[in-house]
């Protein structure tokens, strides 16, 4: 049986750990509210931009813009978006494993598969397994549109230069505090969803400025907005996952403290009993 001193040290250590996990839970809970508000605020804009793009593309014929060009996809770029920090349960691990499975499944379909990582955890997991096209870390602490625009331009430039023929985005979509959905989304070439066919007479549009100028503005903006909303979803999901993980860790610490306290009391009781037996035995020997 462990000594009283060692058990007491373990109890103190677990209590200190519990203080840390409780503090981390409170911090993530405070940050989650703001992150969730940002996600809710960004979704309508991203949705409306997609509808505008759908409406515009529905009245076009052929690939009138390079970002709409359908190529013989031989080179794939997978963008993996994770957090920079850990201690958030399986939030990053599950996503990285999904990326690993996806790449292995697609290995025979493409001549080349490259990976762009956004977030340190994804980079650390994938760097030893696959060639990293580019890595962006330490930008999710305060996600902003300027960072998304910069990364979006990097992706667009590589696509136009022929470094890859198709771009897929992989990220955790925030649903609830305890649930984040692993989401794949094709970014390039842009494939607008088809509008619902109605019985109404199709509306003819007059474009001002020209269609080419509109597409030149909307298509890159769509890429940037997709990245930005994915960043916001990741940040909200990270705080939700960390809050849940730290709450579970705090509960486990409470259980462990209870078990160690019981073990300590039993060991102390055994030590006292042993001392009493020794005193009694000594007293009896003196009398004899």
Q: Domains of the chain (ranges plus CATH)?
A: 4-22+248-287 (1.10.287.80), 28-244 (3.40.1380.10)
* Catalytic residue chosen out of the listed positions 88, 115, 225, 241: 88
Residues 58, 52: Cα–Cα separation, whole Å: 10
- Is residue 198 within 8 Å of residue 159, measured between CB atoms? no
Q: What is the pLDDT along the chain (288 residues), one digit of tens a residue?
A: 578 889 999 999 999 999 999 999 999 999 999 999 999 999 999 888 888 887 776 666 656 778 888 888 899 999 999 999 999 989 999 999 999 999 999 999 899 999 999 999 999 999 989 989 999 988 998 899 999 999 999 999 999 998 999 999 999 999 888 889 999 999 988 876 654 545 455 556 676 777 778 888 888 999 999 999 999 999 999 999 999 999 999 999 999 999 999 999 998 888 888 888 888 887 777 775
Token match 């020209």: residue?
210
Residues 212, 233: Cα–Cα separation, whole Å: 31
Torsion angle of C-alpha atoms 31, 155, 100, 184, degrees rounded to 10 = 70
The pLDDT value given to residue 256: 95
- Is residue 87 within 8 Å of residue 241, measured between CB atoms? no
Q: Which two tokens stand for residue 120?
A: 């340190």
Sign of the CA dihedral with 199 first, then 200, 201, and 203 last: negative
Q: What is the pTM of this model?
A: 0.84
Query: How many CA atoms does the CB half-sphere of 257 hold within 13 Å?
Result: 15
Residue 96 is among the residues annotated as catalytic for this protein: no
The pLDDT value given to residue 105: 93
Q: Rounded to whole angstroms, what are the CA distances from 127 to 5, 80, 117, 169, 201?
A: 45, 12, 9, 17, 54
Residues 129, 78: Cα–Cα separation, whole Å: 14
For the beta sheet containing 166-176, the strands, ordered from the edge strand earlier in sequence to the opposite edge, are 132-136, 112-118, 75-81, 166-176, 179-188
The pLDDT value given to residue 199: 45
CA angle at 191 for the pair 196 and 65, rounded to the nearest 5°: 115
Which residues pair with residue 116 across a beta bridge?
Answer: 79, 134
């Amino acid at each position: 049986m462990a000594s009283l001193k060692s058990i007491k040290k373990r109890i103190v250590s677990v209590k200190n750990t519990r203080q840390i996990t409780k503090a981390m839970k409170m911090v993530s809970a405070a940050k989650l509210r703001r992150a969730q508000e940002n996600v809710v605020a960004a979704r309508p804009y991203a949705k409306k931009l997609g509808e505008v793009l759908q409406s515009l593309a529905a009245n076009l014929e052929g690939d009138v813009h390079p970002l709409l060009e359908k190529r013989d996809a031989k080179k794939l770029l997978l963008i993996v978006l994770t957090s920079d920090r850990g201690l958030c349960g399986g939030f990053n691990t599950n996503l990285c494993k999904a990326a690993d499975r996806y790449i292995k499944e697609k290995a025979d379909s493409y001549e080349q598969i490259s990976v762009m990582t956004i977030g340190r955890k994804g980079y650390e997991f994938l760097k030893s397994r696959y060639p990293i096209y580019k890595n962006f870390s330490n930008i999710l602490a305060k996600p902003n549109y300027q960072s998304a625009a910069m990364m979006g331009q990097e992706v667009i430039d590589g696509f136009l230069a022929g470094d890859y023929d198709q771009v897929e985005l992989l990220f955790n979509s925030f649903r609830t505090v305890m649930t984040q959905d692993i989401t794949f989304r094709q970014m390039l070439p842009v494939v607008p969803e088809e509008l619902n066919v109605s019985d109404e007479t199709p509306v003819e549009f007059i474009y001002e400025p020209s269609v080419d100028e509109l597409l030149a503005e909307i298509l890159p903006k769509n890429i940037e907005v997709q990245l930005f909303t994915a960043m916001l979803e990741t940040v909200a999901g990270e705080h939700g996952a960390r809050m849940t993980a730290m709450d579970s860790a705090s509960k486990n610490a409470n259980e462990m403290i209870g078990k160690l306290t019981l073990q300590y009391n039993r060991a102390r009781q055994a030590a006292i009993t042993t001392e009493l037996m020794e005193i009694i035995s000594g007293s009896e020997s003196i009398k004899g």
